[in-house]
Structure 1
Amino acid sequence: MDAERHETVIIGAGQAGLSVGHHLAKRGREFVILDGSDRIGDNWRSHWDSLRLYSPARYDGLPGMRFPAPGWSFPGKDQVADYLEAYAQRFTLPVRTGTKVRRLSGENGGYAVDTDHGRLLAENVVVATGTFGRGAHIPAFAAQLDPRILQLHSSEYRNEAQLHDGPVLVVGASHSGADVAYEVALRHRTVLCGRETGQIPVRLEARSTRLVIPLLWQLANHVLTTGNPLGRKMRPEVRVHGGPLLRVRAEDLERAGVERVPDRMTGVRDGMPVLGDGRVLEVANVVWCTGFRQDFGWIDLPVIGEDGWPAEHRGVADGFPGLYFSGLSFQRAFSSMLVGGAGRDAEIVAKHIAARERRLHRAEREHRVPAAV
């Protein structure tokens, strides 16, 4: 079976991949978007039921289409999923769902994308597989926990009804861990462990915060960037340890009865979790809010650094012309991990692709023109 040929292949039909597609379409470039899910937005649909965005709807739109919700509301995860699906339909973006990418490699100066439905060849490839990677990060010692303890990663947690009767340990104290701990504490004695990540200085949904959010958005977009020392210092902290508490704050956890332990879970003793202070906890459930590991093992190119992240600058891969990334955590700025931040990063990538194609086609034309006599 002959391989398909495309100018650009975009891997991933989330907010990043769709935004790159939109900007390429505006520039008249040819491309296709591949996604392993059965339906656009399924990655969002798979999150826990009560999840809502941490930015109001007026800041959640992708290029060319506002988010269809009241401006100061905070959309739920299913609203986001439906919005992404509607976005692809509105701009007639060429998305192929149910197409899992197995391998990305170099071939004849371009790239080969092997999927479960065949091979595609491309001059450019954009990897837009998600902010925090494909694989759930769970420490190896989790396998030593008593099998009667229910273990769920945050990617598997949907609601409190999944849990066994009895105490809950939530491991990982970034904003997702705080949200889950607050929710399950309504019916369970709950311990939240993990290093402090700080919290934003305002309540997201307070009416007075509407005066502050534009300033926070400017900060996330234009100050906390890879272009200045503050942003460069913050980037590895956010990528490794997660961001500050956003919706649920420390005082909310305290009021809900959550026991906050700043120590990490360090191991297992007699089948039970052990914290950094040596305390052994008798629990019936462990929810791992420990983030995701970057899984780029399917990229058969030496572009991944020792830290597990691609070597790139604003999405342009170092040393691999035509290879791009979009939607990485803190790719260009703190806003890169937010839905509304995807468009700006995608535009940078699309502009680079369009400029590269013009150079390639100009060189090809010049090569074909006979030399003057």
Structure 2
Amino acid sequence: MPVNGGTERTTTVIIGTGLSGLAVGAELRRRGVHAIVVDGLDILGAAQPANTASLQRCDAADSESLRERNEILRHLRNYAASHHMDVRTTTRAVQLTMVGGEAGGTSTGTAAGSPSGQWEVHTPNGILLADNIVLTRCAHSQLRRMLSDFGITVGRNLVAAMRQIGIYLVGVGELITPSPKEVLRQAKTVGQAISATVHPESAAAV
């Protein structure tokens, strides 16, 4: 864990320690992909953090869905504990910065000598460097604003645009929060996609 401004490298940082974050974390754990799960929903843009709208939770569910969600969440927490997943419920992501690569032909302004890693996730304890970021439970409009702050033009396919720069979405719906079963489906899809970039030989063999 980064201490006093230190830096830590990982394959994937999952932002959100609820059902969505734990679900995709469990998928990655089963596929042998290291991930760090942190709390935090106020992910700020790279260019002007002070002027960037925060990503807020978008929660809406009926009582039956809440019961189902709580049961699945209990199972995922048990899995995380028994399989030693790196879940940091007391570590909060406060800023997200792109440090390498290009998207849509637009330079991201990487500084010379930047460490390897596509993203920096800033926390009170230091910086997490990762190739992939998983965001959970945010509104599409807020995500589009965040990409705009990075200087990235987004067409109609928000998910495709974000995947091009190593950002994946789980538990994110157009207007309402997805059902627990839909969250698990999204988590499996994202787990497969990230695993394919980390272990391409395994994906080719399937």
TM range (shorter): 0.5 to 0.7
Checking the alignment, whether the CA contact within 8 Å between 2:94 and 2:122 is kept in structure 1 is yes
CA RMSD of aligned residues (A): 3.8
Name stretches of at least 5 consecutive residues in structure 1 with no aligned partner. 38-43, 69-79, 134-292, 361-373
Compare relative contact order (CA 8 Å, sep 6+) and give the higher one, 1 or 2: 2
2: CA distance, partners of 1:20 / 1:31: 9
Counterpart amino acid of residue 105 in structure 1? T
1:100 Cα deviation from its structure 2 partner = 2.1
Provide the C-alpha distance between the structure 1 equivalents of 2:63 and 2:153, rounded to a whole number of angstroms. 30
Residues 40-79 of structure 1 aligned to structure 2 (within 5 Å): 53-55=63-65, 60=68, 67=71
Residues 102/303 of structure 1: CA separation in 2 closer, same or farther (3 Å cut):
farther
Mapping of residues 1-373 of structure 1, within 5 Å: 1-36=5-40, 53-55=63-65, 60=68, 67=71, 85-109=77-101, 110-128=118-136, 130-132=137-139, 294=142, 301-302=150-151, 305=154, 311-313=158-160, 317-320=162-165, 322-330=166-174, 337-359=178-200
CA contact (8 A) 2:144 2:154 kept: no
The answer as to whether partners of 1:31 and 1:94 remain within 8 angstroms in 2 is: yes
CA distance in 1, matches of 2:152, 2:79: 31
Q: Which amino acid aligns with 2:168?
A: Y
Query: Paired residue for 1:178?
Result: none
* Residues 356, 84 of structure 1: alpha-carbon distance in 2 compared, 3 angstrom cutoff: closer
1:31: Cα distance to partner? 0.8
Paired AA for residue 131 in structure 2 = E
Q: Percent sequence identity over matched residues? A: 28
Partners of 2:9 and 2:192 lie apart in 1 by: 21
Following TM superposition, by how much is the alpha carbon of 1:118 offset from its aligned partner in structure 2, in angstroms? 1.2
CA distance in 1, matches of 2:144, 2:91: 17
State which structure, 1 or 2, has the greater radius of gyration over its C-alpha atoms.
1
Aligned letter for 1:124? N
**Count of paired positions:** 165
Question: What per-residue deviation string (whole Å, max 9, x for no partner) do you get for residues 95-127 of structure 1?
Answer: 112222222121134111112221111111111
Gaps of at least 5 residues in structure 2 are 42-56, 102-117, 202-206
| Whole-angstrom distance in 2 between the partners of 1:54 and 1:304 | 39
The answer to which structure has the higher helix fraction is: 2
Q: Does the aligned pair in 2 maintain the 1:131–1:337 contact within 8 Å?
A: no
Deviation at 1:304, TM superposition (A): 7.6
- Superposition TM-score, scaled by structure 1 size: 0.37
TM-score (ref. length: structure 2): 0.63
| SS of structure 1 residue aligned to 2:187 | helix
Amino acid at match of 1:101: A
Given that 1:102 and 1:298 are in contact with CA atoms closer than 8 Å, whether structure 2 keeps it comes out as no
**1:295 & 1:99 partners in 2: Cα distance?**
22
Q: Is the 8 A contact 2:26 2:79 kept in 1?
A: no
What residue identity is the alignment partner of 2:95? R
Q: Which digits, 9 at most, give the CA deviation of each residue in 1:214-266, with x for residues without a partner?
A: xxxxxxxxxxxxxxxxxxxxxxxxxxxxxxxxxxxxxxxxxxxxxxxxxxxxx
* Alpha-carbon distance between aligned partners in 1 of 2:91 and 2:66, rounded to the nearest angstrom: 32
